[in-house]
Amino acid sequence: MDHAELLTLFDRDLREGARPDGPDARVERTGDVVRQVAPAPGWNGVLWSALDEAGADAAIADQVGHYTGLGLDFEWKLYGHDRPVDLGLRLRAAGFTPGPEETLLIGEAAGPARAAAPPEGVRVVQVTDPAGVDLVADVHEKAFGADSSWLRHQLLARLSDPDSVVAVVALAGDEPVSAARMELVPGTPFAGLWGGGTVPGWRGRGIYRSLVAHRARAAATRGYRYLQVDASSQSRPILERLGFLPLTTTTPYEYAS
């Protein structure tokens, strides 16, 4: 994989050419900014921008005015190669709060990532009904200590469309111990891996790797070439051992209206 070409393809297909992440969301292009707007609890934010020093502050102010006018909090998803180079500082000055920096990693769906198996006594199953969605949301809350109402809403809205999302849960007996989802982008070579989390007490046993493998096989079967992950510092080493390569960083800048 050529890094520069792959990053250009990622920007074109998943950022500038982004699709809505749910049936009640819409993607809009205004000037040199692409954003998503969705009713709460859906995700709202800026996905892509092509700004220069002269117009950046005005573009930021326009987005703040748009979302606050709708009464919505939103995120500016900033990547390490975005311009101008001081865009993060400009966002801070406009009242945004940065979250933890993550690394954009890309792997081959048909590569080594697909080979990992779950540990003994654990099985990985695909979610097909609202009860399964509840399991995924409950694991998310236990693994990340965060509210999962938005995730439950999103998965329920997309459950009937297996061509847009695949959700999986790892069960130890009948106990849900890990969960994740994969968002598919038809017409592109990319499938995104999101939300992989394991509850305390079950970490360090290879369950996360098995969820990556399950989704990699599902992506390859559907004809997707690449797997994309915004990786935390905890998951990055695991993914690199599975053949994923870092392309750039990504940082969420949050604005509370």
Model confidence pLDDT, tens digit, residues 23-52? 889 999 999 999 999 998 899 999 999 999
pLDDT score of 22 more than 90: no
Q: In terms of domains, do 219 and 126 share one? A: yes
More confident residue, 66 or 2: 66
What gap in Å lies between CA 123 and CA 93, rounded to an integer? Answer: 48
Q: In terms of domains, do 48 and 139 share one? A: no
Q: Residues 160-167: what's their mean pLDDT?
A: 88
Q: In terms of domains, do 45 and 86 share one? A: yes
Q: Is 193 exposed, middle or buried (0-12, 13-18, 19+ CB in 10 A)?
A: buried
Q: In terms of domains, do 131 and 166 share one? A: yes
183-242 pLDDT, tens per residue? 999 999 999 999 999 999 999 999 999 999 999 999 999 999 999 999 999 999 999 999
Nearest by Cα to 109 from 187, 219, 250: 219
Q: For the chain, what is the domain count? A: 2
CATH number, domain at 218? 3.40.630.30
Own/partner long-range contacts of 88-91 (Cβ < 8 Å, ≥24 apart) = 88/251, 88/253, 90/56, 90/57, 90/60, 91/60, 91/253
Residues comprising the chain, all counted: 257
Q: In terms of domains, do 114 and 99 share one? A: no
244 inside domain:
no
Residue with tokens 């096989």: 217
Q: In terms of domains, do 65 and 30 share one? A: yes
Q: In terms of domains, do 137 and 199 share one? A: yes
Q: In terms of domains, do 192 and 159 share one? A: yes
75-128 pLDDT, tens per residue? 999 999 999 999 999 999 999 999 999 999 999 999 999 999 999 999 999 999
81 inside domain:
yes
Q: Looking at 46, 68, 103, which one is the last position of a domain? A: 103
Residue-range definition of the domain harbouring residue 49: 3-103
Could you tell me the CA-to-CA distances from 166 to 20, 125, 145 in Å, in that order? 16, 11, 23
pLDDT score of 1 more than 70: no
234 inside domain:
no
Q: Whole-prediction pTM value?
A: 0.93
Q: Residues 12-19: what's their mean pLDDT?
A: 96
Q: In terms of domains, do 120 and 199 share one? A: yes
